[in-house]
A and B are shown apart, each in its own frame.
Chain A
Amino acid sequence: DIQMTQSPSSLSAYVGDRVTITCRASLYISGYLNWYQQRPGKAPKVLIYAASSLQSGVPSRFSGSGSGTDFTLTISSLQPEDFATYYCQQTYSSPLTFGGGTKVEIK
């Protein structure tokens, strides 16, 4: 199975900050990487697919980059509604696997 490792596991930031979350795959996954946001008590929501494509309806302050094994999710200017947990997911091979999550909290 491909292991997905996210860092950091949590971070504290101010509204307006630029935030970067990284995700590393244990094997090559090309661009088969998605990012999800999960607010407390809610189902996850896809933000980015294919490493860098913004899902329809998602604010443009979210962006993704990377290919191969190393990927990044960036929030250009953190908003109050962005405080949540973020997960990466590889869809290169079965079983599909998720990273352990990064909890973004208010500073």
Chain B
Amino acid sequence: QVQLVQSGAEVKKPGASVKVSCKASGYTFTSYGISWVRQAPGQGLEWMGWISAYNGNTNYAQKYQGRVTMTTDTPTSTAYMELRSLRSDDTAVYYCAREFVVVAATGHFNGFDPWGQGTLVTVSS
């Protein structure tokens, strides 16, 4: 079955960096993009950006430009998200999600399915 398995919880100090991994299985890795979404405690969902597993092209949300790097490693079917200069308000669960695209007469529609189980990143001094 299609599955995304993320790395374990992290505790970081302010100013540090974190790199979360997302290992895909059950499908051809290079045929789909991966998005990263975060959720602060008790809050809603926030899209951080997307990477093509086919060619490595990225699209980052402006809010994270300069602070985030998304990469992929095709031989291991793994996507990575690195966030630098961590602050306390970066404390959140970080999810990876596979992007699917459906081509219809009215357009190309995409969504996220499945999602990884989430990685809690805690930023605290």
Is A99 a contact partner of B44 (Cβ separation < 8 A)?
yes
Binds A, one of B7-15, B73-81, B82-90, B115-123: B115-123
The answer to the question of A39 belonging to the interface, with a C-beta cut-off of 8 Å to chain B, is no
> In the assembled complex, which residues on chain A have CB atoms less than 8 Å from the CB atom of B113?
45-46, 55
Partner of A49, one of B63, B106, B109: B109
Contact of B46 among A38, A45, A98 (CB under 8 A): A98
* B62 with A49: CB separation less than 8 A: no
Q: Give complex CA distance A35, B33 in Å.
A: 19
B35 contacts chain A at the CB level, 8 A cutoff: yes
Cβ B115 vs Cβ A43 within 8 A: yes
By a CB distance below 8 angstroms, the chain A residues around B115 are: 43-45
Contact of B102 among A36, A45, A50, A100 (CB under 8 A): A50
Tell me whether B16 is interfacial, beta carbon within 8 Å: no
Q: How far is the CA of A94 from the CA of B95 in the complex (A)?
A: 18
Binding site for A on B (CB under 8 A): 35, 37, 44-47, 59, 61-63, 95, 97, 100, 102, 104, 106-107, 109-118
- Identify 26 residue pairs between A and B in the complex whose beta-carbon atoms are under 8 Å apart, listed by A's number: A30-B106, A31-B106, A31-B107, A32-B107, A32-B109, A36-B45, A36-B112, A43-B115, A43-B117, A44-B37, A44-B95, A44-B97, A44-B115, A45-B113, A45-B114, A46-B112, A50-B107, A50-B109, A53-B109, A87-B44, A91-B110, A94-B59, A97-B47, A98-B44, A98-B45, A98-B46
Complex A-B, nearest 5 residue pairs according to Cβ-Cβ distance, in ascending order: A43-B115, A50-B109, A49-B111, A95-B61, A98-B45
